[in-house]
Structure 1
Amino acid sequence: MDLPYLQISGIRRSLLITRCPRLESGMTQFRFPTAYTILFALIVVVAALTWIVPAGVYDMAPNATLGRDAPVPGTYHTVEPSPQGWVQILMAPIKGLYDPIEYTANAIDVSLFILVMGGFLMVVTRTGAIDAGIGGLLTALKGREILMIPILMTAFAAGGTTYGMAEEGLAFYSILIPVMIRAGFDSPTAVATLLLGAGIGTMGSTINPFATVIASNAAGTTIQDGLGLRLVILGLSLLAGIVYVMRYAAKVKADPSKSLMADQAEAHRAHFLKGGDGDVLPDFTRTRALILAAFAAAFGVMLWGVISQGWWMGEMSALFLGMSIVVWLLAKISPDTRMNEGEFVEAFVDGARDLLGVALIIGVARGIVVVMDDGQITHTILHWLEGMLGGLGEVAFANTMYFVNVVLSFLVPSSSGLAVLTMPILAPLSDFAGVAREITVTAYQTANGWVNLFNPTFAVVMGGLAIGKVPYDRWLKFVFPLLVVLAVIACGTLTVGVMLT
């Protein structure tokens, strides 16, 4: 039986809709719910907790080092309860898109970036430049296509460890997936290469200003403190991730039935290759080479702007809107790529429409944090965890700090938001345990990066899976063994770090 599809303006899309094997009891067939349903159910659960968990807050005071308000340790107090009802539950996904959430930016910025990026990618795709470039790449790596995985994962990890590559990575999925499928792999291989590459880089952040720098400042340490420990975590974790993805990719290429998405292989080829095996790749002409050069330059400028100019979603959206026009003008050089004004606009709108589901799911994911903050239980949970850490030994404290930040990362997936919220409270506790504060910083960032490899409240995870048409339950099945290995690496390295300091 074919899987159910979500119809979006005439485009058949199996966006995060899948089924589990038929249950043997009777004729009942269980279908795993979509990501939207999972996230909305989590909103309901968190709203129910606001009726049970006492409401409370820490006093907030300006922190000159951080440049924003931060919790003051020892000032937690209960406040008037603010239980969230059905109206608040229904409003949560809406507010998740446009409401500023504490310590983070508006999700509407990310959603708009995704829509503009979809338009840009479709304009480039309509010129045939990407398909022509894919043909050239596959020819150059004939018989060695699997080498793309370590090369690309290392490159994405470099982005993760230096500036916390996250939302920006959403731009690359639509490019990488067709390359991997044509090379004989599958969509999950491409998703894993990008999501795990950038995610492991963030997990082992070295100079990431949105995680390590903020957390170090809040903890009263410098970014150099604990750098060696973070490099060890980065190196070991990246090696484990590369080996894991390469083994899976080799298995899929040898036997496509081993693919995580074997039952959707033909649908994926039709969708991502725009026609399947029978397509003849277009010629790599000079015009298409110019378009690809502009295409690559757009991402180079984006990285430059993010790292050195402080750009964020607004500036990046404007960049790719402008580059869409540049590509259209370059395409006019050759009749093989030329589009009139109407065709250009149609291509841009079609591309944005293809990623509409991805843009919408971001608001639903952030709705969970909206309910927690509006119900005023975020600080209460933090206060409870603070009390649990008292009296632990050095090794136990470091590893417990890791797992505490794992829990908190589900509630506050933003690395900078979690750092500002927790470090002023948790870092001083390490002094009483006899643990160096840089260990606490490393435990925080490693835990946050680990969780955000599969966190359903993290828009980057759900957005990437949506673009790759990989259901969340299958992603969990795929990534779970690696998660165990990465957790062992993190805790083992923290333990050694404590013993050496």
Structure 2
Amino acid sequence: MTEGDIPEQNPDEVLASRFPTAYTVLFLLIAVIAALTWIIPAGQYERSMNEEIDREVAVPGTYQQVEANPQGFVDVMLAPTAGFYDPDSYVANAIDVALFVLFLGGFLGVVNATGAIDTGIKSVMQRLKGREIWMIPILMVLFAIGGTTYGMAEETLAFYIILIPIIIAAGYDAVTGVAIILIGSGIGVLGSTINPFATVIASNAAGIPFTDGLLLRMVLLIGGLIICIAYVMRYAMRVKADPSRSVVARQLGAHRQVFLGGQKDQAAVALTITHKIVLIIFALTFVAMIWGVATQDWWMANMGALFLGAAIVIGVVGRLGEKQLTGSFVDGARDLLGVALVVGLARGIVVIMEQGMIADTILHSAENSLGGLSELAFINLMFWIEVGMSFFVPSSSGLAVLSMPILAPLAD
């Protein structure tokens, strides 16, 4: 079956089009959590400063019920804004992450305006002709390294728009490109060996050295990565051999049109000196980001400044005029505006839980349910408790600070 033989519509597409967007789902979750503040008793643990992580953490055994503070209609409406910053104290919540996403989008917009990415993609495809499958293990290993060393997550956004066209031009589908990035970085985070925003913070909050269990995490990382690479390679080879086996088979033509302009074969191209310099600056920007996060305690503001500065340098090197430079930056930021809004909405869920004072109550219930269990039952139940809580606390460091001081002593 060829791409042209595949019909344009099917019942799955119709069903997908009826599914609510991420914005709607997150806003509904805010409303549901607000409703729960009228049902779940309010309560709090006492807090003390943990010098190791420079944050206040809950003190085990100090939970007590407090006067309820149920969240109403106005609170639900304020939650998305409060997800970005506290409207009362003006303390930042997720606004730094949202701004980082916008600066990242602007940076990509400027890079794309130079034409270096498109030309680079075509050049890579010419060089890898017949050996494209080996891109998968190489790239997945690189993303896994990012995940295991510093929890690479938001930072991967830049790579989707770059990698997916390369993968489609190689004869695979968009899902393969997404899988390389998402599964590669995901398995790295799952086996976080030295990730300071998950393993190190969680270990310090629990009062144990982060090197405890390091060998086990390395085994989990390597074993999981091998399985993931094999799975993605198998899927990619099946799709290349028969496009109808793609999970997005009916969108292959549309994806090719969007990412490659409908071209099936890429014309021969040559990278100019300007293109090469732009691509080198592009690569060095991400190297600098990884170095800064891993060794210099950089966070969103620093990374945003890095991408802003790099965008200006690339614009100058690429000989973009002032209007084209700023226009490309704004257009790129606009492309990731939806992601920035999702960040604020997700943080709004946590705000409602904290203002309604039910987060500690939920944690206390988890503490009670884990008491007196066998080792096997404890491990499995604690895993699912953390999974459930991660839906409402979309931050690995935030979840570690919230839960580890209470749940870790139970493991002893």
TM superposition score normalised by structure 1: 0.76
1:319 aligned onto 2:306: yes
Separation of aligned partners in 1, 2:268 and 2:307: 25
1:281/1:328 Cα in 2 relative to 1: closer, same or farther (>3 Å)?
farther
Q: What corresponds to 1:426 in structure 2?
A: 407
Greater relative contact order structure (CA < 8 Å, 6+ sep): 2
Q: What corresponds to 2:245 in structure 1?
A: 258
Separation of aligned partners in 1, 2:282 and 2:21: 33
1:369 aligned onto 2:350: yes
1:411 alignment partner, SS class = coil
Q: How does 1:46-85 map to 2 (within 5 A)?
A: 46-85=33-72
1:22/1:187 Cα in 2 relative to 1: closer, same or farther (>3 Å)?
closer
Unaligned 5+ runs, structure 2: 1-6
1:61 alignment partner, SS class = strand
Contact 2:82 2:93 in 1 (8 A): no
115, 124, 127: which one aligns with 2:102: 115
2:289 alignment partner, SS class = helix
1:297 aligned onto 2:278: no
1:143 alignment partner, SS class = coil
User: How big is the shift at 1:201?
Assistant: 0.6
Q: What corresponds to 1:41 in structure 2?
A: 28
Separation of aligned partners in 1, 2:398 and 2:408: 15
Contact 2:123 2:270 in 1 (8 A): no
Contact 2:367 2:407 in 1 (8 A): yes
Contact 1:266 1:276 in 2 (8 A): no
User: How big is the shift at 1:204?
Assistant: 0.5
Separation of aligned partners in 2, 1:121 and 1:319: 13
1:277/1:346 Cα in 2 relative to 1: closer, same or farther (>3 Å)?
farther
What amino acid sits opposite 1:329 in the alignment? V
2:208 alignment partner, SS class = coil
Q: What corresponds to 1:404 in structure 2?
A: 385
1:21/1:288 Cα in 2 relative to 1: closer, same or farther (>3 Å)?
closer
1:62/1:391 Cα in 2 relative to 1: closer, same or farther (>3 Å)?
same
1:267 aligned onto 2:248: no
Q: What corresponds to 1:356 in structure 2?
A: 337
What amino acid sits opposite 1:346 in the alignment? G
Separation of aligned partners in 2, 1:60 and 1:407: 23
Separation of aligned partners in 2, 1:128 and 1:30: 33
1:204/1:105 Cα in 2 relative to 1: closer, same or farther (>3 Å)?
farther
Query: After superposition, what is the alpha-carbon deviation per residue over 1:226-253, rounded to whole angstroms, capped at 9, x for unaligned?
Result: 1111111111211222122222222222
Query: After superposition, what is the alpha-carbon deviation per residue over 1:388-441, rounded to whole angstroms, capped at 9, x for unaligned?
Result: 11111122222222222112222222111111111111111112xxxxxxxxxx
Query: After superposition, what is the alpha-carbon deviation per residue over 1:194-231, rounded to whole angstroms, capped at 9, x for unaligned?
Result: 11111111111111111111111222221221111111
What amino acid sits opposite 1:371 in the alignment? I
1:329/1:201 Cα in 2 relative to 1: closer, same or farther (>3 Å)?
same
1:394 aligned onto 2:375: yes
1:188 aligned onto 2:175: yes
Identify the range of structure 1 (29-38 vs 271-280) with the bigger mean alpha-carbon deviation.
271-280
1:115/1:276 Cα in 2 relative to 1: closer, same or farther (>3 Å)?
farther
1:162 aligned onto 2:152: no
Query: After superposition, what is the alpha-carbon deviation per residue over 1:72-105, rounded to whole angstroms, capped at 9, x for unaligned?
Result: 10111111111112211122122112239xxx97
1:275/1:349 Cα in 2 relative to 1: closer, same or farther (>3 Å)?
farther
Q: What corresponds to 2:3 in structure 1?
A: none
Query: Number of paired residues?
Result: 403
Contact 1:124 1:327 in 2 (8 A): yes
Give the RMSD, CA atoms, in angstroms: 2.3
Separation of aligned partners in 2, 1:347 and 1:281: 26
102, 124, 137: which one aligns with 1:150: 137
Query: After superposition, what is the alpha-carbon deviation per residue over 1:135-177, rounded to whole angstroms, capped at 9, x for unaligned?
Result: 2211222112121111111111111111111222222222112
2:19 alignment partner, SS class = coil
1:259/1:98 Cα in 2 relative to 1: closer, same or farther (>3 Å)?
farther
Contact 1:19 1:31 in 2 (8 A): no
Query: After superposition, what is the alpha-carbon deviation per residue over 1:421-478, rounded to whole angstroms, capped at 9, x for unaligned?
Result: 11111111112xxxxxxxxxxxxxxxxxxxxxxxxxxxxxxxxxxxxxxxxxxxxxxx
What amino acid sits opposite 2:289 in the alignment? M
Q: What corresponds to 2:201 in structure 1?
A: 214
Contact 1:19 1:32 in 2 (8 A): no
TM superposition score normalised by structure 2: 0.92
